């Protein structure tokens, strides 16, 4: 009788220990998943945070022509070119945000329609020294 009680107690203790170990492993996995989720949320929040206007204007210039930023740093302040409708729209949007003209000033000089290229606009705009500081 004592032997069966001892065996029963050991077996029950073994099951309890195994169950505690499984619960601990589950908690560790849940904690790791929570940490990964928190990290992903932080990355998404950083990616969705709006960039300052100055950075967006510089990005626009570099996408427009990779040489534009170098020319601006070299002292050129006026830029002329033929822009697509999307580029013109983006430039107008940036100028609308820059109400005081702190970074960029725009003057539209006309527009033409080119077959295959869509509507393009001849644009001249001037950037300010503040943009390059």
pLDDT, average across residues 13-31: 66
Three-state DSSP class for residue 51: coil
DSSP state letters, 87-103:
HHHHHHHHHHH-TT-SS
Query: For residue 18, what pLDDT is reported?
Result: 56
Q: What is the pLDDT of residues 35-77, one digit of tens each?
A: 898 898 888 888 888 888 888 888 888 888 878 888 888 888 8
* 80/109: higher pLDDT: 80
Tell me if 71 sits within 8 A of 80, measured CB to CB: no
> What is the model's pLDDT at position 116?
61
Domain boundaries, the chain: 1-49, 53-132
Kindly report whether the global pTM for this prediction surpasses the value 0.75.
no
DSSP H stretches of helix in 49-119: 53-64, 66-73, 85-97
């Amino acid at each position: 009788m004592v032997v069966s009680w001892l065996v029963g107690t050991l077996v029950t203790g073994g099951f309890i220990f195994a169950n505690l170990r499984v619960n601990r492993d589950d908690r560790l996995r849940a904690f790791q998943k929570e940490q990964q989720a928190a990290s992903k949320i932080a990355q998404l929040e950083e990616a969705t945070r709006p960039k300052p206007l100055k950075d967006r204007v510089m990005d626009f210039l570099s996408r427009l022509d990779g040489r534009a930023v170098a020319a601006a740093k070299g002292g050129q302040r006026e830029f002329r070119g033929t822009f697509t409708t999307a580029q013109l729209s983006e430039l107008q949007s940036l100028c609308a945000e820059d109400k005081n003209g702190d970074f960029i000033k725009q003057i539209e000089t006309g527009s033409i329609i080119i077959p295959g290229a869509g509507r393009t606009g001849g644009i001249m705009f001037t950037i300010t020294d503040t943009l390059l500081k």
